[in-house]
Chain A
Amino acid sequence: MSELSKKAIIEALIFSARSGIEPKKIASIVGLKYNQVMVLLDEMEREYESLDRGVFIKSVNGKLRFYTKAEIQSYVNQITTRPIVSITDTQMETLAIVAIKGPLTKNDVELIRGRSSQNQLLELSRMGLIGKRKSKLPGRPYLYRVSRKFYDLFQLDDLAEVVQGLFLGEGEKVEASGDSITVDGTVQEEVDTGDTGRQNQD
């Protein structure tokens, strides 16, 4: 009985939090241990999978939110209008670099793409998908990284789900062992470590 009401609270929290809510925060509000919350969330996720529900719980950038199911999109479409963000191929390339390797400078981006990327970066900034800040490097170049809006737009929880099996920056391709390979940090590390990849090629 008491468990049921906890779930109700969690549901309400997820629905009403402006930009989603972290499980940790739920735990502190509801007064449960993190693990207990995770168990409840797990149950809830399964419940929402039911055919009687039109929404499901999805984690975006670590924050839990409700999203409508893809199967009913044709209905939902009729009452909501969302601007379609058009991203060109070159912009997408640039965005991918910034997402995976950021924060990095314009120069780093151009080195990877092999051509000028000024316009792409500018346009992406204008769309609010990437942000920049001054670095302490010589010449004080800007460092670019993806913004929260990027995660919102792509509804991404963790870049690892996209990077899976690919390593940018080493010329090395490694098959992913499973779907839950790494947390964000380790990917970033492996991406950054030098150019020793060639020897390991199969």
Chain B
Amino acid sequence: MEQMKFVFNLPEFEGPLDLLLFLVRKHRVDIRSIPITVIADEFMNHISKMKSLDMDVTSDFLVMASTLMEMKSRALLPRLSDKEAEVFDKQQRELFNRVEEYQTLKELSKRFRNKLYEAYSHERATARATAGTDDSADLPDKLMVAFKSILKEAALRDKVYTIVAESINVEDRMLQIEDLYETIELYEFLMGLESRTEIIATFLAVLELLKLNRYILESMEPLVIRRRAS
């Protein structure tokens, strides 16, 4: 079936190594037992077929083709020196290793895919711990404490700074917060503000956001709230 298909159109290859592997497999033997000249010829043949079919012959194919041609020419020439023979041998070994490595990779990637399919038939089962984690009852107190200590700070500051009258509105503040912050460490966040009005408005905005469930309490100590994933 596959052979038939091959007569009419060329299969697409992922890259030169893929093509090389395909050519080797057609021989049904180990790559090491095929003469490099044969492989090189078949590879070139294939490239020209691809070209005649107007397929995209990418540069990596051309690189491989030229490497193979170089090796073929080396193989045909009488060896000049031991050193050259050694270089050729090494080059050939490297190529073989790469093809075999690629073959291994294909097998591996198949195994990974099977694992993935296998994983799809199992669903993680969890249970939630019942007691101890629900401390949201303390939230109002905690919020109040935070707010009070911030107010105290602000009162101290008010003695030093001249407050520029500035109208801050809770709705705008809420939008700002939602836009800018994903998590808020409440104490630090409020401490960073300038005036008492700003702090109050911001605090109200935070309360409102919590009430609307757009932010949720992440941790009590320190007091951190986090934007709910929409």
Contact = CB atoms under 8 A, between A and B. Distances in A.
Contacts, number: 128
Interface residues of B, number: 40
Give the 6 A-B CB pairs with smallest separation, nearest first. A171-B100, A114-B17, A15-B127, A115-B15, A70-B121, A171-B97
Given A166-B108, A171-B101, A113 B17 contact: yes
Contact of A90 (B14, B64, B96, B129): B14
A115 B105 CA distance: 14
Nearest to A198: B93
B122 interface: yes
Interface residues of A, number: 51
Interface string B79-110: 00000000000000100111111101111110
Interface of B: 14-18, 32, 58, 60, 64, 93, 96-102, 104-109, 111-113, 115-116, 118-129
B115 to A, nearest CB: 5
A70 B15 CA distance: 37
Contacts of B126: 15-16, 18, 65-66
A82 interface: yes
- Mostly, the B contact residues are helix
Interface string A89-131: 1101101110110000000000011111000000000000000
A173 B105 CA distance: 12
Interface string A173-202: 100000000000000000000010110010
Interface stretch (A1-9, A30-38, A137-145, A149-157): A149-157
A66 B124 contact: yes
A156 to B, nearest CB: 6
Given A90-B14, A96-B105, A166-B107, A171 B96 contact: yes
